[in-house]
Amino acid sequence: MVTAVTSLGRSGLSDWLLQRVSAVVLLAYFILIGWVVASGIDYVGWQALFATAWMRVFTLLAVLSLAAHAWIGMWSVLTDYLTERLMGTKGNVLRIGLQLCISLLLFIYVIWGVQILWGN
Amino acid sequence: MKDNRPVNLDIGSMRLPITAWASISHRISGVVLFAASFGMLWALDISLASAEGFARLGELLGSVPAKVALWAVGTALIYHSLAGIKHLVMDFGIGESMEGGILGSRLVIAASVIISVLLGVSLW
């Protein structure tokens, strides 16, 4: 059972809380984006919105929340289905490999997000 | 932890209750959103890079396949959000009974279908 070592907080309670806090941040962020897009914004307005400090900070918070939320969520799914019990040793190898790919991708997201927000 | 405990979880042999459907859909929509997250960041990048990029993205999202993809991801987001809100409500001890769980699942699925249809209507 090599599952706990790849969890984000190394503790079930920590992951549980982090999953909920990041969920609320993401929900608030997607409601804001949905509302802005539905109101029919143009490029000038869009650019101006993302030039404000609060929107950049909120977006970075959302990207960090996405990274944590996806890590914990994908961990929960992978440790349930790609397991030694269901697939033998192959399950462990496949799961750890996928988790490494996912964490690398999420790390790239954070850098990409910073580059989008402060790169220009 | 004991590793040799008996496990009887042959999911294929069971008829899944609505709460199980709500749970597996929450997982599937989560994986879909994770897959879509790359496209979301890409869209944010291109939309902020230049006025041409913003216009090109608008054109791209106007095509039929892109609209279908947008609707699918939107539906996943709506369902995942509502199912998540249900979890938060249950964390506060509301609806933790079997009946509460069934009612919650029904409400989340019904509300998702309605909002998803409305999203489709507004996209077309």
How confident is the model over A31-81, as pLDDT tens digits? Answer: 999 999 999 999 999 999 999 999 999 999 999 999 999 999 999 999 998
Q: Is the pLDDT of residue B1 over 70?
A: no
Q: Is the pLDDT of residue A1 over 60?
A: no
A85 pLDDT tier (thresholds 50, 70, 90): confident
Query: Which ipTM score applies to this complex?
Result: 0.92
Q: Do B34 and A74 touch (CB under 8 A)?
A: yes
For tokens 């199980």, the residue is B20
Token pair for B114: 């309605």
Q: Do the beta carbons of residue B120 and residue A52 sit within 8 Å? A: no
Write the residue in A43, A76, A85 that is nearest to B54 by C-beta. A43
For tokens 């030039």, the residue is A51
Was B87 annotated as part of a binding site? no
For tokens 């699918």, the residue is B72
pLDDT of the residue at A18 = 96
B2 pLDDT tier (thresholds 50, 70, 90): low
Q: Do the beta carbons of residue B36 and residue B73 sit within 8 Å? A: yes
User: Which pLDDT tens digit goes with each residue over B43-74?
Assistant: 999 999 999 999 999 999 999 999 999 999 99
Token pair for A64: 């960090």
Nearest chain B alpha carbon to A23: B84
Domains and CATH numbers, chain B: 17-123 (1.20.1300.10)
CATH number of A10-118: 1.20.1300.10
The secondary element (H helix, E strand) that includes residue B65 is helix B64-91
